[in-house]
Structure 1
Amino acid sequence: MGKIYKVAVVGAGTAGLLTARELQREGHHITVFEKAGKVGGIWLYNPRVESDPLGLDPNREIVHSSLYKSLRANLPRQAMSFLDYPFVKKEGGDPRTFPGHEEVLRFLDDFARDFGLMKLIQFGHEVIRVELVDELTHEWVVESRIRKTESTWESKEESFKAVVICNGNESEPNVADFPGIDTWPGLQMHSHNYRTPEAFENKIVILIGNGPSAVDILKEISPLAKQVHLAVRTPSFQMIRVENYANAWQHSMIECALKDGKVVFQDGSIVDADVIIHCTGYKYHYPFLKSNGIVTVDDNRVGPMYKHVFPPSLAPWLSFVGLNNRAVVFRVMELQARWVAKVLSGTVELPSEEAMAVSVEEHYSEMEKAGVPKRHTHSLMMEEVEYVTWLATQLNIKPLKMWKEITVFSFVEGILHYGENFRDIWDIDKWIQKIDSSD
């Protein structure tokens, strides 16, 4: 039996549930803190939106969910399965290969119940402080609060040997910046606060971005809107063909927004718009973490972070699961969670603090030499196979053959091939069978 510690897990979304399951398997004593009343994290739909539609007001009450009502997974259920818990079709559920968010939530809820995780979770507990209070004993204090009335809270503190942060990275909007953004008279909002299309009927709408949310929102509002204009950073990369829509156009990025309501694009075109929706992603945000400046967020780089999980000088007593994006994230999170649990129990060893720090600096240096912006530090777009294989090796798991073929990069290629209706026309089972039968 390995070492056993009292461990706090922040968040009961996918990363938090996987982490709790792996920590439980290693015999650790776990408390999961979850702000919501149910498991699911970002997969828990909330029709409420924030008082500040752009998400810039620090005093707003944050709505964690970014789901719009019609959202479907952009990865197939086969790629969202866990190693020993497949995401199978169940009677009475959504049978589609790319299911709606309700089906993903049901999968996570079933997972939590089947592995007895519900009893570990303190629902309705918002974490407001995670602080290292004793460097010698590695004691952490987690302060959480629960709402007693509409205007009053009750807080409590609890000590832990280790903390794993699994609170996700899709609740603090990243907003585009252009001259006139503060004085433009129309409605501006972030896709974080988009739920349904009705409010955009007969409106002229500009969408900033070229990712899944921009594509989905364009498809959904175009039948109602008067015009939809898509502003993209890379016009040659098309996830949606706007020429298939009678009232949609694609532009380069916004040059400036004027006080009379007009928006000027870098390609010289001008649109008199009613609404700008920023489909521009999210920032990593840990306002509760007090680490004496050891862990910082700089241009969306959370660091220093050894292999995206452990801050070298605080390892293994502080860790993060689920930082990575642009990857088959369920698979990555499961391996990260297992790594954290086994490192804490002592069955898997970390390098020395010095060696981890050197590794981090080498990674940053390689990014800089390759011209990769700092904000892409946690993107695994081109490194997914290498990273997943490395994690599997640490855990003495034989990498599955499918891991080399089924990556987010392969899905992007498939989406570009099949177009915006890829969810309904791509035969994933046939694709996987072909991979399985290849040499």
Structure 2
Amino acid sequence: MRAPAATTHQSTRSTTHGPWCNQTRHLHQRGEKNKRIQTVRTLPPTVQSSHPPPMPMPSASLRLAVIGAGAAGLAAARELRREGHAPVVFERAAAVGGTWLYAPPAASSDPLGAAATHSSLYASLRTNLPRETMGFLDFPFAAEAPGSADPRRFPGHEEVLRYLEAFARLFDLLRLVRFETEVLRVRREDRGGWAVTSRKLGDKGSGEEEVYDAVVVCNGHYTEPRIAVIPGVDAWPGKQMHSHNYRVPEPFLDQVVIIIGASASAVDISRDIASTAKEVHIADRSAPVRTCEKQPGNNNLWLHSMIDRAEEDGSVVFQDGSTIKADVIMHCTGYLYDFPFLGDDSTITVDDNRIDPLYKHVFPPEVAPQLSFIGLPWKVIPFPLFELQSKWVARVLSGRIMLPSKEEMMEDVKAFYSKLEARGWPKRYTHNFSNYQFEYDDWLAEQCSHIPIEEWRKQMYNFNGINKAVRPESYRDEWDDDHLVAEANEYFKKYL
């Protein structure tokens, strides 16, 4: 696979669409002397366009700290360097990959906590998105690509890691990464810049402090477990754990296991554990109260409403009144955003999983663009979104794109919150993009003068959601969108 040049789409016309773009400033080049002028555009949300303006050349090279070398951190490092910046990537693990770097939980790990284990992968995990949709926009995640060893359309996690490793090698990113190095503190300097204190794993000292022009946070959000509140569970004698620390089903042989949650990981893990457990009971908060149903095709798998309480005798009572004696309660209840290295001077707070305030889920208005976040949205196709966010951040930092004023960014954040409240969405869904990820992607693409997300990719993602609902047990191996697969493979030829 060859390294592609950065893709842009140039035109003399520019419009903006969607709720993401109330006010945006660009630096344009005009006239023979390429004098820079600043324009402000306020545009209606219904205007559609795929004709972004040409981009001027970057005006400055900055020394930047990137926290994390998972998919988001690698995307950020590549785009920052493409803009002429000098990124330094801090990574706790000994290799790239982030959450895709499989590791057994440490023997001393808290089964309900993150402890020292970063990855949340379990051994049997396969992607829940087709590989054609998953790849970076100019680096296809194709079965035909060099280094591929799992040609399945929904491959195992090892294949995703191989893909990220190949991406890092091709774009010469490994030399930018300080492996086995954790970031302890990030703070604003009075004289400008950000002081980053880091330490090699195993060192006992207070760490080394360096000053950077800006910090890009890419530490992921699948590490700090969210735990369900269960009345009486403190006196319940069984074992509790979070799916973050689940790896293989064998330890649950002949046990009765309750799984809390109905996410993709909860569905997969329940089927995985059912292969060895005596019984598996899924407690789904969204299920009707009187739900108590055996699941089709599984002799030992039941769906219930949420747990009502746990008892000292080992029994667990569901909201429908049914009771079982359980050995294990596993919380497949998601994760919390966590930035332990940031202090109050980052100007953000995390409240019920809302990171507040963030302009377009990336920039805290008070300190933008010197602090930014890549990869916070969920219910998305992650890698393309990481790439587009990274392009935007890189070009803002180099002066090719100007952000609105602090006041305008805050107004945009407030308007977004008002829309969520009008829809009845809880605060914890602030960064849930299930309804508008492509609108957001296309807005980012226009800011960066990049072609929009391909239509086949959007259609394939939507089709996969329908197929998963129709074939929950077999969607990874049965599908009816071969015409989209053919279109994707034709598109990939220019990169392979």
User: TM-score when scaled to structure 2?
Assistant: 0.82
Aligned to 1:129: 185
Aligned ranges 1:226-375 → 2 under 5 Å? 226-235=278-287, 242-292=295-345, 294-375=347-428
Aligned to 2:131: 77
Aligned to 2:31: none
In the alignment, is residue 54 of structure 1 matched against residue 106 of structure 2?
A: no
In the alignment, is residue 13 of structure 1 matched against residue 70 of structure 2?
A: yes
Q: Distance in 2 between matches of 1:223 and 1:119?
A: 43
Q: 1:374/1:410 Cα in 2 relative to 1: closer, same or farther (>3 Å)?
A: farther
Aligned to 1:118: 174
1:83 Cα offset (Å): 1.2
Q: Is the 8 A contact 2:133 2:457 kept in 1?
A: no
Q: Is the 8 A contact 1:261 1:272 kept in 2?
A: yes
Offset from partner CA, 1:66-109 (integer Å, 9 cap, x none): 00011111111111111111112246611111111111000000
Q: Distance in 2 between matches of 1:92 and 1:120?
A: 24
Q: Distance in 1 between matches of 2:467 and 2:375?
A: 24
Q: Distance in 2 between matches of 1:357 and 1:426?
A: 44
The CA RMSD measured in Å over matched residues stands at 2.0
In the alignment, is residue 28 of structure 1 matched against residue 85 of structure 2?
A: yes
1:421 Cα offset (Å): 1.7
Q: Distance in 1 between matches of 2:446 and 2:285?
A: 38
Q: How many residues align?
A: 426
Q: Distance in 1 between matches of 2:232 and 2:484?
A: 47
SS where residue 258 of structure 2 aligns? Answer: strand
Gaps of 5+ in 2: 1-56, 491-496
Aligned to 1:405: 459
Q: Distance in 2 between matches of 1:367 and 1:393?
A: 24
In the alignment, is residue 178 of structure 1 matched against residue 234 of structure 2?
A: no
More helix as a share of residues: 1
In the alignment, is residue 65 of structure 1 matched against residue 119 of structure 2?
A: yes
1:292 Cα offset (Å): 2.7
Q: Distance in 1 between matches of 2:368 and 2:170?
A: 31
Query: What residue identity is the alignment partner of 1:327?
Result: V
Gaps of 5+ in 1: none
Q: Is the 8 A contact 1:132 1:290 kept in 2?
A: no
Q: Distance in 1 between matches of 2:366 and 2:147?
A: 49
Aligned ranges 1:160-175 → 2 under 5 Å? 160-175=212-227
Aligned to 2:53: none
| Structure 2 counterpart of 1:213, from 242, 255, 265 | 265
SS where residue 425 of structure 1 aligns? Answer: coil
Query: What residue identity is the alignment partner of 2:465?
Result: V
Q: Distance in 1 between matches of 2:351 and 2:460?
A: 31
Q: Distance in 2 between matches of 1:398 and 1:15?
A: 20
Q: Distance in 1 between matches of 2:402 and 2:158?
A: 39
Aligned to 1:193: 245
Aligned to 2:22: none
Q: Distance in 1 between matches of 2:395 and 2:405?
A: 16
Q: Distance in 2 between matches of 1:30 and 1:434?
A: 36
| Structure 2 counterpart of 1:388, from 424, 438, 441 | 441
Query: What residue identity is the alignment partner of 1:186?
Result: G
Offset from partner CA, 1:217-255 (integer Å, 9 cap, x none): 11111121111101002227x9x9822110111100000
Q: Which moved more, 1:107-116 or 1:415-424?
A: 415-424
Q: 1:93/1:247 Cα in 2 relative to 1: closer, same or farther (>3 Å)?
A: same
Q: Is the 8 A contact 1:229 1:249 kept in 2?
A: yes
Q: Distance in 2 between matches of 1:91 and 1:140?
A: 39
Q: Distance in 1 between matches of 2:412 and 2:209?
A: 35
Q: Distance in 1 between matches of 2:259 and 2:129?
A: 23
Offset from partner CA, 1:141-193 (integer Å, 9 cap, x none): 111111346xx356111100100000000000001112012221100000000
Q: Distance in 2 between matches of 1:88 and 1:193?
A: 30
Q: Distance in 2 between matches of 1:259 and 1:380?
A: 41
SS where residue 393 of structure 1 aligns? Answer: helix
SS where residue 413 of structure 2 aligns? Answer: helix
Identity %: 50
In the alignment, is residue 88 of structure 1 matched against residue 142 of structure 2?
A: yes
Query: What residue identity is the alignment partner of 1:177?
Result: V
- Which structure has the larger Rg? 2
Q: Is the 8 A contact 1:12 1:40 kept in 2?
A: yes
Q: Is the 8 A contact 2:281 2:303 kept in 1?
A: yes
Q: 1:163/1:434 Cα in 2 relative to 1: closer, same or farther (>3 Å)?
A: closer
1:309 Cα offset (Å): 0.4
Q: Distance in 2 between matches of 1:71 and 1:153?
A: 38
Q: Distance in 2 between matches of 1:14 and 1:99?
A: 17
1:5 Cα offset (Å): 0.6
